[in-house]
């Protein structure tokens, strides 16, 4: 029974430790100050150049807000609607003196949006969309995240919610647009800060199976060493009778 309890305790410790390591820092938060404004980018890829806070660069969670409507009804799009998310370093050819989105370090591929929504959130997390250890962000501060929607029916519209000001990190008030020929900076009458949240870990998150196994091996070794120590103590222990004989011998020998 004691062994079973110890094993259960070890599993609990491993689970709790893994969970604590998986806790992430918020490195960008633009999810608080809703401008109640919507942006419809059509079929163009649009990007928000942002500045990250802190030192954590293993991305464990990413989320952004979007909306979708259809003239065909509330519950179904008239055609197929998809979204694609990309993360860029701003190391591309300059536009008006600013580096454009260049090297891609994440591409979600095309994801189907099931139905119209007045507002919803698309989430990406470590172990699902990202590697279990987190997606490494190869920038110190500045990156661009982009979204592109495609629709097969003109009756469907989909776009982004705008929030400002950013509460963690920073965002420029303009936005990047790629019409298929290259990136250009664009402006609007409101700050073009797309609603988004990024959370990351300072170090790569250990894979849960490997980490749990390591914890269990350590506990088993500790348990084994404890048993060996108890056995050694038992072998070297002195009975009351032996203790009396030792004392008598010690007195006789004059020690």
Q: Are 147 and 62 in contact (CB under 8 A)?
A: no
Residue 9, SS3 per DSSP = helix
pLDDT given for residue 72 in this prediction: 80
Max Cα distance, the chain (Å): 109
pLDDT tens for 21-38 read 457 899 999 999 999 999
Q: Which residue has the higher pLDDT, 207 or 183?
A: 183
Instruction: Fill in the DSSP letter of residue 212.
Output: H
Q: What is the dihedral of CA 23, 24, 26, 31, to 10 degrees?
A: -70
Using a pLDDT cut of 90, give the percent of the chain over it.
69
pLDDT given for residue 205 in this prediction: 77
pLDDT tens for 71-81 read 988 889 999 99
Q: Are 205 and 60 in contact (CB under 8 A)?
A: yes
pLDDT tens for 101-135 read 999 999 999 999 999 999 999 999 999 999 999 99
pTM of the complete model: 0.74
Average pLDDT, the chain: 81
pLDDT band at 172 (very low <50, low <70, confident <90, very high): very high
Fold observed for domain 25-201? Jelly Rolls (2.60.120)
In the predicted model, is pLDDT for residue 6 greater than 80? no
d(CA 220, CA 230) in angstroms, rounded, equals 15
Q: Are 93 and 181 in contact (CB under 8 A)?
A: no
| Nearest by Cα to 205 from 24, 16, 15, 11 | 24
How many of the other CB atoms lie within 10 Å of CB of 134? 25
Residues 6+ apart with CB under 8 A from 194: 30, 39, 46, 48, 64, 65, 145, 147, 160, 161, 162, 163, 175
pLDDT tens for 197-212 read 999 999 987 755 444 4
pLDDT given for residue 156 in this prediction: 97
Q: Rounded mean pLDDT of 79-92?
A: 98
């Amino acid at each position: 029974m004691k062994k079973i309890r110890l094993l259960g305790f070890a599993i609990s410790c491993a689970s709790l430790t893994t969970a604590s390591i998986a806790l992430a820092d918020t490195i960008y938060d633009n999810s608080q100050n809703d401008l109640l404004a919507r942006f419809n980018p059509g079929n163009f890829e649009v990007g928000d150049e942002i500045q990250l806070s802190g030192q954590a660069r293993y991305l464990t969670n990413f989320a952004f807000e979007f909306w979708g409507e259809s003239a065909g009804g509330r519950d179904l799009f008239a055609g197929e609607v998809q979204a694609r998310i990309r993360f860029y370093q701003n190391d591309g050819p300059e536009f008006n003196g600013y580096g454009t989105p260049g090297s891609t370090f994440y591409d979600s591929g095309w994801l189907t949006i099931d139905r119209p929504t007045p507002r919803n959130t698309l989430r990406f997390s470590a172990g699902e969309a990202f590697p279990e250890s987190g997606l490494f962000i190869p920038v110190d501060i500045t990156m661009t995240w982009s979204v592109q929607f495609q629709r097969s029916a003109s009756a469907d519209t989909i776009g982004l919610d705008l929030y400002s000001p950013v509460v963690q990190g920073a965002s420029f008030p303009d936005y990047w647009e790629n019409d298929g020929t290259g990136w250009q900076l664009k402006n609007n009458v409101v700050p073009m800060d797309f609603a988004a949240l990024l959370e990351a870990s300072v170090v790569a998150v250990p894979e849960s199976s490997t980490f749990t196994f390591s914890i269990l091996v350590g506990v088993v070794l500790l348990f084994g060493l404890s048993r060996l120590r108890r056995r050694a103590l038992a072998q070297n222990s002195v009975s009351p009778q032996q203790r009396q004989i030792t004392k008598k011998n010690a007195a006789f020998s004059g020690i």
